[in-house]
Structure formats: structure tokens, C-alpha cells
Structure 1
Amino acid sequence: MASARLRHEHGLTLLRDAVNAANGVVRRSLAGTLNEDDAGTLANALEKLRSATNWLEGSNNFESAHQVLDHFGRVRRLLFADDCALAYAEGVYQHTCPVALAHNRVGLSIGAIIEESECSICGLDPDDEECFHVTGRYYDNQQCVVVVTKASMDHVAIVERPDFPDARLAAVPMSTAAMREVLGDKHQPGVRLTCDRCLSKCSGIVWPMRL
């Protein structure tokens, strides 16, 4: 697990890089020079901003990252509305948007006995004295992580703040009944639905483990 200092440093790096990329899209939009890659650039920036909220959770910069995420979520909805649709799979709508997911502060923690692992940078055991890489840091644009090569799994727990900050939900399902409460009884599952969440005022962060 990365130290609080390294978490904070990495979170600030993600925040800075994402803001720079997203602001580039905004500048090109104002200049009328958007290119075919800008939708993807902004989508990637939002993923980084979600990650930044994860790494900055518990720090004084968390709320700033949250506000920046909301801001650029709105920008994406205004510039690339076609990309802001609810995912639909196996008869269920799902929120997969990083902005929506970042507001639901739950994560996953794996209980396991790690028998063998290696550093993603050098391939050595992270406890080997010849491995000088720090988990969470980037080396030549590659993030250092511990790669578990052999383990005995025990359980997966839902927690508020996982040891690995990005161990979060990839999607949140939305029941058909809940959708019909909003859209009416004539709503038919499978119809493409554009999400307008980011056009409304943020309703705040949800901390399910504290409810």
C-alpha cells in the first residue's frame, strides 16, 4: 500500500495532467478547431480525474478534484453529448461514466494470502533489496504496481477506502423499475438514453458505508 504522501503526490499528478489535457480540448473548442481525437482525450481526462479523487481521498485536495471532475463532466456533456449515454447490457442500464461513479465512494478490498509477487518495472520481488521502485510512482510513463503471480484467495469486501485507491466499481446497475419511475410505464429497456446528470447541480458525494 502506498504511503499517504505518495498517494497525495500521485493524485496531484493525475489532477494536473487531466486538467491540462481537458483545458486543451476547451481551448480548441473555443477556437473552432476541435479534432477527431478530442472526444477521446476528454474521456481519458475524466477517467484520470476520477482516479485523482481516489488517490486524493482523505486529503485537503479531494474536494478540489471533485469540483474539477464535475466541471469537465459538464464540458463533455455540452461538447460531446453523443458520448454521454447510459450503457446497456443483458437487459440492464448501467452507469459507467467516471463522473457518476466517482460520487459513489465505495471500493473493493481483496482478502488473500500473497505467495509470490513481482515489481511491474523490473520483475523482481518487491521485497528484494535490489528492487528500488516505489509502488504508485511512474517510471518512463509506466506506473509501478505489484503484480501478484501466486495467491490464495479468501474473500472480497466492500469498503469505503480500499488499499489500492483505484479498486472501485466499474459500473452501477439501474433497475428497470427505477427507470420507469422516472421515464414512465411506457419505457422500453434497450432504448438509447442520453445522460444529463452533469447538466444539473451536483447533489453531492455519497458515502454508502456511512449511511
Structure 2
Amino acid sequence: MRSYAESCRLISENAGADLSRIPTWAETTNDLAWRGIHATQPQQRHLLGIWEPVGSRLRLAAWRRSEGAAFAVARGHQAHLLGLDRSRYANPAFKPQTLDAFAAVTTGLPWLAAERFARQALVRAVEAFNFLEHSPVHDMAHHHAHEIAAFVGGIFGCEVPFEGGEYWDTCPISLMHRRWGLSVGFSAVRFCSLCGEDLDECPHMIDTLYEVLVARASDGTCTACGQPVCDHMVGEFVHVRPHAVIREAMLHEVSLVRNPRDPLARINRMDITPEVLRQSLGTDPAGRPLACYGCLHPCSGFSFPID
């Protein structure tokens, strides 16, 4: 929430925006339902008609607020290179990276900072949903992630990465709806953090405090807590409980599961097949830049691994 609030603050201060006039995902989703627009392409046209004027207005307002300072450091052709061409700011196809260069010279990167905070907020919202999936606030976390995703996509825009000859789905909100996680199967010996012996055979008990002389191991970790950086002073005596140190782990398998033990052990990107691209676009994009508007659309539900 803090990153989302910071992004909104920067937009409000640097573009003079009334945040109440920025659409929300819930509003646009309800609007589509009320109008009976259910097909993907008509939905996209309608949603872009709502969001693009908002993004253009904010970028133009940010440009106007910094115009005087900008021309104090950049004039003529150089000003155009810095992204000060008014027509580009009014153009819905304008990329926020242009304003980033402009803001870097004039206002300390407010627009870039707002975008970074917004994208960080989206990642955190998705992580929160992964932790809260089976809690009573599941629906609230799901809705919140959608709201931030629409804010990011509607204001700043998103592109589909093209790497290694393939397009990739790296969108946090898209991947959040693929409820696939990774579960690692391995075996290992647990060693005692105090004496270094097998934890099942050494005399130390996990729930017992022991007095330990603080020193640094050969790898730089603290002999009391096992951390590379801590507040323990070398040479002092402290009371600590032993803990297990995993060494000599042997990996047996990695499974694709619905509920990984670590809620964050999720897929972070998936390739988009040429068939899917041709079906969606009607042609092969052949490496050309692709804009993604999926985060603006209504939720299409979750998908799960086959048991």
C-alpha cells in the first residue's frame, strides 16, 4: 500500500491530478457489464477509450508544470531530444520513457519514480495475495491486485518482453491467476549451528539456551546466530538456541503444485506461443514491440495445474 500511495502522491503533485478522476478497475469492469460488452476486442477498444485520455492528460500536465525549468536547461533541438515536444505528450502512444529523460534533467525523475512505485506496488499486491489465498480476505486481496494492475497499465502502459526470439508473459497480474507453484523434494543432513555435528546426534537441544562465545566462522558468519551481518560482538558471550544448518542437500525432484510450501515459489514468466499470438493478433508480430492491455480487462478467472 505504501508504494501505491507514493505513486499516487507523485502523480498528484507533479501533474496536478485529481485522483478521484482516475478510473478504477471496478468502475470499468462494471461499465463493461452494464453496456453488455463481453468480447475481448470490443472491451479493449472501450477500455482504451477510457484510459488513454487520462494517461495523456497526466503526461501533458506534468510537462506543463515543469516547462519553465526544462527550457532553462534545454532549448531547440536538444529540448526535442529530452522529450519536450508537446505533441508527443498529447499522443496516447507516447512512451513514459520519454518523460523519464525530461524529468531526470528538471525535476528529479518524478514520473519515473511514480511508475516504479506503482509497479513495485503491483508486485507487492500479488505477493500479498499469494500469502492470503486461503484466508478470509482472499477476495479483498484479489480485488486490490486488480485495481493496482489497472492503474499501472492504464497510466504507464505495458509492453510484452521479446527475448531469445520469443515473447514472454511477465505480467504479475496475469501470472497471479495461474495458480502454479514449485515444490522441491530433497534430502539433507541437518547440522547443529553450535557444534557443527549432526543435529540428531549432538548433545544440544533445540529449545534450550546455551552460552556461546561469539566469533566469526571461516565464511564470515557469526557463530552465535549464523548470519553474515548481525549485532553480536566478537569476543562477547551470548545466550542462543541452536538451529539446524542444512548442508549436503540432494535434490530429488521439483513438482508443479497448486499450493507450494513457500507462497512466493511461483512461476515468474511464461513463453507466449506463436499460435496464441496469431490467434490474438491475426498475424505473426515477428519481434515487433507489443503493447499489453490485459490488466485493464475484467478478471477471467484462475487456472490450476492438473493433479
TM-score normalised according to structure 1 size: 0.71
Any idea what SS the aligned residue of 1:113 has? strand
| More strand per residue | 1
- Does structure 1 retain, via aligned residues, the 8 Å contact 2:11–2:111? no
Deviation at 1:209, TM superposition (A): 3.6
Is 1:115 aligned to 2:189, yes or no?
A: yes
What residue is the counterpart of 2:264 in the other structure? 166
Q: Report % sequence identity.
A: 26
Q: How far apart are the structure 1 equivalents of 2:159 and 2:192?
A: 39
Give 1:104's match in structure 2, choosing from 152, 175, 178: 178
2:146: which partner in 1? Answer: 70
1:46 correspondence with 2:122: yes
Q: Distance in 2 between matches of 1:170 and 1:89?
A: 15
- 1:115–1:151 contact (8 Å) kept in structure 2: yes
1:41 to partner: Cα distance: 1.4
Map of 2:287 onto structure 1:
190
Q: For residue 101 of structure 1, what is the amino acid of its counterpart?
A: L
In structure 1, how many angstroms separate the alpha carbons of the residues matched to 2:265 and 2:191? 18
- Measured on the aligned residues, the alpha-carbon RMSD in Å equals 2.9
1:25 is aligned, of 1, 4, 7, to: 7
Structure 2 unaligned residues grouped into runs of 5+: 16-109, 194-198, 200-204, 211-224, 231-243
Instruction: Report the more deviating stretch, 197-206 or 51-60.
Output: 197-206
Give per-residue Cα distances to partners, 1:135-186, cap 9 Å, x unaligned: xxxx9xxxxxx9854311100001000001101101121101110111123x
Do the aligned partners of 1:114 and 1:151 also contact (CA within 8 Å) in 2?
yes
**Greater per-residue helix proportion:** 2
Q: Which runs of 5+ in 1 are unaligned?
A: 1-18, 120-124, 134-138, 140-145
CA distance in 2, matches of 1:74, 1:183: 21
Larger radius of gyration: 2
Cα deviation digits, residues 19-65 of structure 1 (max 9, x gap): 22202212332333544322111111111111111111111112111
Counterpart CA distance in 2 for 1:118 and 1:22 is 43
TM-score of the aligned structures, taking structure 2 as reference length:
0.50
Q: Secondary structure at the match of 1:109?
A: strand
**Greater Cα offset, 24-33 or 197-206:** 24-33
Residue 88 of structure 1 aligns to which amino acid in structure 2?
Answer: F
